[in-house]
Amino acid sequence: MRAGQQLECLSTGFGLAMSVGLHLAAFAYIASATAQFQFEFELTLPTEIEFGVTEGLDLAIAPNDGARASRPPSGQPRPESNLGATLVDAGVPEPEREPEPEQEPESEQEPEADALASDERESGEAVVAPAATEGPSRLPPGAQLALRIDMRRVRESPIGPDVTQFLKAVPDWQLILAGSGIDPVSDLDRLLVATPNLQRSKLVLAGKHRRDDGFARASVARLARSRGKSVRWKRIFGVPTAKWHNRDSTARTIALLDGQHFSITRRQDLQRVLALAKARELRDAKREGWIAARGPEALLSMGPSEALSLEVEGVHRFVLGNVEHVPVRLRLAVSETGPNEATVVALATYASSEEAEAAAAYWERVATFYSKQLILTLAGFGKTLRRMDLEPDEERVRVTFTLNADQIRFILSYAEGRLRGSGGATRPRQPRETW
């Protein structure tokens, strides 16, 4: 065989081998990228869920000393005990009363439970409902997604710009905050975003701002002016409230829980938010992973070094199928543990220690499966999954793993893309505005 023929044969063989290798690699990549663990359940986003906590609670919220409460209805006994902590105005001065604004049609009918609380005199002063302030305040068994963010840590973090970009991709926040002048990243030290089912209409915002005592009231006035409205303050459940004239179609109320803490909710959800703060007071804070606190601070409380936490109450309500290994309650927290590193701790609560032990073994198999997938290995998550620590602790399972800055940026970028994609597909495009 001549040298030319030998070279041609070698070249052909090499090309064939390379072709086979590339095809096998492509097949392996496709197979790996599309491989999925055969879960016995699937995630769902139900449309109707009660805003509450897994176990449900009957609480009482005390009126502050300066609040004027009406007498209980005839024949209704006064409660014998009071479990609640006082939520007060913290010396925020009451503004002069302004003329009654033109009434807007409410997008949602308020429940009868709020009828007493909304009993207002012609003068504009509110009568605080005794059933709400001195009697039982029901936080029903239900579900809740609650995201808490330590904005101070975000501002100081190397990935602060990435987190900021992600937050600004959330279209619902823009609709609620646009026109108020509130910038969540620069003006707030702590932020809570909660909902029972990811419906915009039921979105709850609460926060702790870093400005002076007049900041919240000034934001309310600024938003009202942008909509051509006036502001009328009244006291409900012992706290100053005013209509929040957001550009969303859902009517909302802002409540000043003290000089720095506020909430923005549907009016019928205000009582539940106050009850949620009390519910967190009553839980074992150390065991749950956050710092013990009282009043509105308990509503926003996080762990000592946490930048972000996600709590899910009633996890079963968000899945379809076999829920054997699904926790009843889940808390996930992210803490910055180095200049380019963050530690994630997930605490899953089950009905019993036996269920927790079985679930730990199950999720260990899931982590092992995905650690071998090529696409995750290339993205740098294979090693993370292999080093993941799953530890049963009585009725709980503690999951711990570490992420580097690039992995966090990847997750944030992916989540931002999903938000922008889903938003564009389901909602009309809104004009971009500065918070």
**What strands lie across the sheet with 329-338, from one edge to the other?**
234-236, 239-244, 252-256, 261-265, 204-209, 188-195, 144-150, 306-313, 329-338, 341-349, 396-404, 389-393
Is 122 inside a domain boundary? no
Predicted pLDDT of residue 62? 52
Is 24 inside a domain boundary? no
Is 51 inside a domain boundary? no
Is 88 inside a domain boundary? no
Is 218 inside a domain boundary? no
Tokens linked to 330:
């889940």
* Residue owning tokens 């108020």: 180
Write out the residue range of the structural domain in which residue 417 sits. 57-74+142-204+267-426
* Spatial distance between the Cα atoms of 105 and 41, rounded to a whole number of angstroms: 41
- The residue ranges of DSSP E strands in 250-318, in sequence order, are 252-256, 261-265, 306-313
Is 128 inside a domain boundary? no
Cα–Cα separations (whole angstroms), residue 418 to 83, 121, 366: 43, 48, 24
The pLDDT tens digits along the chain (435 residues) read 555 554 454 444 444 444 444 444 443 444 444 467 677 778 877 778 888 888 888 776 554 433 333 333 434 443 333 333 333 333 334 444 444 334 444 333 333 333 333 333 333 333 333 323 333 467 888 889 999 999 999 888 877 787 777 777 776 777 899 999 999 889 999 999 999 987 788 889 999 999 998 999 999 999 999 999 999 999 998 899 999 999 888 999 999 999 999 999 999 999 899 999 989 999 999 999 999 999 999 999 999 999 999 999 999 899 888 888 999 999 999 998 877 889 999 999 999 999 999 999 999 999 999 999 888 888 788 899 999 999 999 999 999 999 988 888 888 887 777 666 654 333 333 333 333
Predicted pLDDT of residue 100? 39
Is 280 inside a domain boundary? yes
* Spatial distance between the Cα atoms of 265 and 19, rounded to a whole number of angstroms: 61
Predicted pLDDT of residue 380? 83
pTM listed for this prediction: 0.73
Predicted pLDDT of residue 91? 36
Predicted pLDDT of residue 112? 32
User: Up-side HSE of residue 23: CA atoms within 13 Å toward CB?
Assistant: 6
Is 64 inside a domain boundary? yes
Q: How many domains does the chain have?
A: 1
